[in-house]
Structure 1
Amino acid sequence: MSQSPASAHPATQNGALSRRQITAWRNAMFVIFALCGLALASWVARLPATRDALGASTLEMGVLIFGLSLGSIMGLLISSHLIARFGAKGIMTWCFTIAPVGLATAGIAASFGPSFVVIFIGLAVFGAAFSICDVAMNVSGAANERALGRAIMPIYHAFFSFGTIAGAALGALAEALHVPVFAHMAAIALLIVVAAQLSLRFLQSEHFVAEGDEAVADDDHSKSWRGRLSIWRDPRTLLIGVIVLGMAFAEGSANDWLTLAMVDGHDVSRTGGAIMFGVFVTAMTVGRLCGVFLLDRFGRVPVLRGSAVLAIIGLLIVIFGPNAEIAVVGIVLWGLGSALGFPVGMSAAADDPKTAAARVSAVATIGYCAFLVGPPLIGVLGEEFGILRALLVVLVLVVAAGLASGAAREPKKVVSPVA
């Protein structure tokens, strides 16, 4: 016999949450997003040391990194079912235990042995737990956004960026001090476990009942695997997926190829290329922090369309600009335009609490395709036409994201802001 909504999700029994509870929930989510960014960047920062320890070729490192991607996709495919069964908070509790174990395992295997196979397994475990946590924290964050009655998701993702900056800085420091990879990863894993457990206790169920609302009965989307998978047949799911795919591709292509594009295409130094990437990351972070005010004032659809226009103009300037000085302007516009697509897409996917986990999982899976397919696709095209011209494929997907922006329109019923 299936449980009633109230019995299945105890948070619904207490009615509306207090302002203090909602604020504590929000602050805890800031920490959780930052910890995920810290974990990912910490590993990426030690890739050169891992490569040297293994004596691996570029192709072998590509296979190793694929372990992280493989785990991520596997995690995404089961995430909605796990969240429906155990709730977003329960799933994050487990993920913030399992993911650090995978990270520490990869770090230990990079220092002792070293063992290619064990690193691959550790990264696959880390990737699976990381991607499941990604869906769960976006579901919980969207629920908190509904409780607040205002846009907050872009700031959550800005905190993810803060975490990546911290992870990169700590990684650089660890390299400078010649800290072994295993010691670095073990310290980061321990920090993540402790900080996550301290924060998770402030989270509320994504099935909370706002003041004046009735508990929502579970439907077929949440009661069965087949029902949750049926969300893939919903045109709105696919259109939101196009938004996230296009903007994730814009973000991911800059992460992977902007430095090389500036060095090879605009003849800047390697240091200059790194600085250009820093400009992009800074612009994207600023866009996420400031984007909430634009979303509150103008709504999702105009902001997403404006973001697509900025990214398109920025890409055109970078691709066809006559020199590096002009290209910097394009990089800033590209970063600002890429900032809001992914977090706003997650908010839109979670609009309906009954289907939030299933739709967020589906949209995230589509978005992750950008990170899996994007780098090799641009690499193949770049080998034939040059990296700058290869970025035209990013332009096409950003145009598609702009055209699909209407799918992210807010629902008519909006929870009133907390007094």
Structure 2
Amino acid sequence: MDHSLNTRQIHIWRIAVYFIFALPGFTIASWVSRTPTIRDALGATTAQMGWIIFGLAAGSIIGLLCASHLIAHKGGRYVIVTGLLVSSIGLVIVGVGGSWLTSGIAVFLGLAVFGFGNGICDVAMNVEGTAVERAAQKSLLTGFHAAFSVGTLLGSMAGSAAIKVGISVPVHMALAVAITVLSVIYLYKLVPEGTGKENSRDSIDPPMSARERVAVWKERRTVLIGIVVLGMAFAEGSANDWLPLIMVDGYKVTPAIGSFTFGLFVAAMTIGRAAGGMLLDRFGRVIVLRASALSAIAGLLIVILGQSYTFAAVGIVLWGLGAAFGFPVGLSAAGDDPRGVAARVGAVSTAGYLAFLVGPPFLGILGESFGLLRALIVVLIAVSVAGLLSQAAKPIGKHTAKSREQEKRSESF
């Protein structure tokens, strides 16, 4: 990529990346908002829907694992565009398969394609985000993730409006795809070509081989950052999947109040991420991660031990604020070294998404035996471990990165 960008070009690049982060949030919310309609059209049981939705998880994991190799060969911009277009195709298949064909297999395959596109796009846009951070010399990744949350909110609102006015699922999905594709056509021109691409022209170091990209999974710093992200993503994912039920079962509130508390959590997390850049620039990653872990721990303890809904609502806000930082800050730390940035961001992203996808079902199994409130103790432990390991996110300089590469090479002889 061209490193001679001026201030205006960096600003345009930054704005484009905000919109790019919002697009996957918008498309995911478009799908989620129509799941009840698709379930009813398919006549699927809860268990059958679980298997159908597994297509999304499978496609996402495959995409995440392939992303670093694609970015290394093609660059971030190419993979972002490809990912958004592939996920759009998947969304069309879901809409047609769920309503017109009424085929569970078609919806499964559509979700797998959708998940793959989102998986590669997720890593690529985070690589792009870390590159913007380096160019602007500001902490921006939490703000980019806030844009993803805003996109999710807009997608949910659009889905709710589509249901109210009686727009069919295929037409709704087609409109969401049209918005995505038109946005991509406009935005890709504003993003520099080749971010994250491994080639010898960008550095005195040779480009990373496929073997070296796989080896980042064994780097001590990358593993520790991955554990931090896994713990904090578990805190976020458990709230996304279980918070309304936790409040209904644990505090005997109405389903409407349970949904409101989830909105409270998302709002707190979005506000935290929006303010994250300023906090990170002032206090640094390690202090912010420790403070966010303490906030999440306090919030979870209040929810687990609280005796009233009002008291628990305060805990939910603290939980949301605490969960806001782990994922974006961890990805930012993984992108410190420009050489191999796609591989490290990909590894940490995969850890985070494994927590999103595997953690909540595990919580459900525990909740079946011990109750959902007590099951949250596992989340509490995961967040505590993340807080204790937050020192791993301390920024590394160019010299440190160079030394690490030299040490790694010397070990191979």
Asked if residue 194 in structure 1 is aligned to residue 194 in structure 2, the reply is no
AA of the residue aligned to 2:382: L
AA of the residue aligned to 2:59: G
Asked if residue 51 in structure 1 is aligned to residue 36 in structure 2, the reply is no
Asked if residue 62 in structure 1 is aligned to residue 46 in structure 2, the reply is no
Secondary structure at the counterpart of residue 114 of structure 1 = coil
Aligned 8 A contact 1:139 1:206 in 2: no
Aligned mate of 2:30, from 42, 55, 69: 42
Secondary structure at the counterpart of residue 391 of structure 1 = helix
Query: Matches of 2:377 and 2:34 in 1, distance apart?
Result: 31
Asked if residue 142 in structure 1 is aligned to residue 127 in structure 2, the reply is no
Aligned mate of 1:180, from 141, 160, 168: 168
Aligned 8 A contact 2:55 2:111 in 1: yes
**Cα deviation 1:213-258 (Å, max 9, x = unaligned):** x942354xx4321111010110111101011101111101000001
Q: Report what 1:306 is aligned to.
A: 291
Query: Matches of 1:288 and 1:198 in 2, distance apart?
Result: 26
AA of the residue aligned to 1:199: L
After superposition, where does 1:201-350 map in structure 2 within 5 Å? 201-205=189-193, 207=195, 215-219=202-206, 222-350=207-335
Aligned 8 A contact 2:337 2:398 in 1: no
Secondary structure at the counterpart of residue 49 of structure 1 = helix
AA of the residue aligned to 1:361: G
After superposition, where does 1:66-215 map in structure 2 within 5 Å? 66-205=54-193, 207=195, 215=202
Secondary structure at the counterpart of residue 253 of structure 2 = coil
Asked if residue 360 in structure 1 is aligned to residue 345 in structure 2, the reply is yes
Q: Higher RCO, 1 or 2 (CA under 8 Å, sep at least 6)?
A: 1
Query: Matches of 1:77 and 1:387 in 2, distance apart?
Result: 32
Query: Matches of 2:205 and 2:34 in 1, distance apart?
Result: 45
**Cα deviation 1:329-360 (Å, max 9, x = unaligned):** 10000000000110011100111110110001
The alignment covers a number of residue pairs equal to 396
Shift of 1:207: 4.7
Query: Matches of 2:314 and 2:322 in 1, distance apart?
Result: 12
Aligned 8 A contact 2:300 2:315 in 1: yes
Shift of 1:16: 2.0
Query: Matches of 2:194 and 2:284 in 1, distance apart?
Result: 23
Shift of 1:206: 5.7
Query: Matches of 2:367 and 2:194 in 1, distance apart?
Result: 44
Shift of 1:411: 2.0
Q: Report what 1:6 is aligned to.
A: none
Shift of 1:374: 1.1
Q: Which residues of structure 1 form unaligned runs of 5+?
A: 1-10, 209-213, 415-419
* TM-score, normalised relative to structure 1: 0.92
Q: Report what 1:396 is aligned to.
A: 381
**Cα deviation 1:56-102 (Å, max 9, x = unaligned):** 00000000110000000111111100000000011112112111011
Query: Matches of 1:364 and 1:182 in 2, distance apart?
Result: 31
Query: Matches of 2:180 and 2:239 in 1, distance apart?
Result: 27
Shift of 1:373: 1.2
AA of the residue aligned to 2:361: P
Aligned 8 A contact 1:83 1:91 in 2: yes
Identity of aligned pairs, percent?
Answer: 52
Query: Matches of 1:224 and 1:46 in 2, distance apart?
Result: 43
Query: Matches of 1:113 and 1:88 in 2, distance apart?
Result: 35
Query: Matches of 1:154 and 1:259 in 2, distance apart?
Result: 25
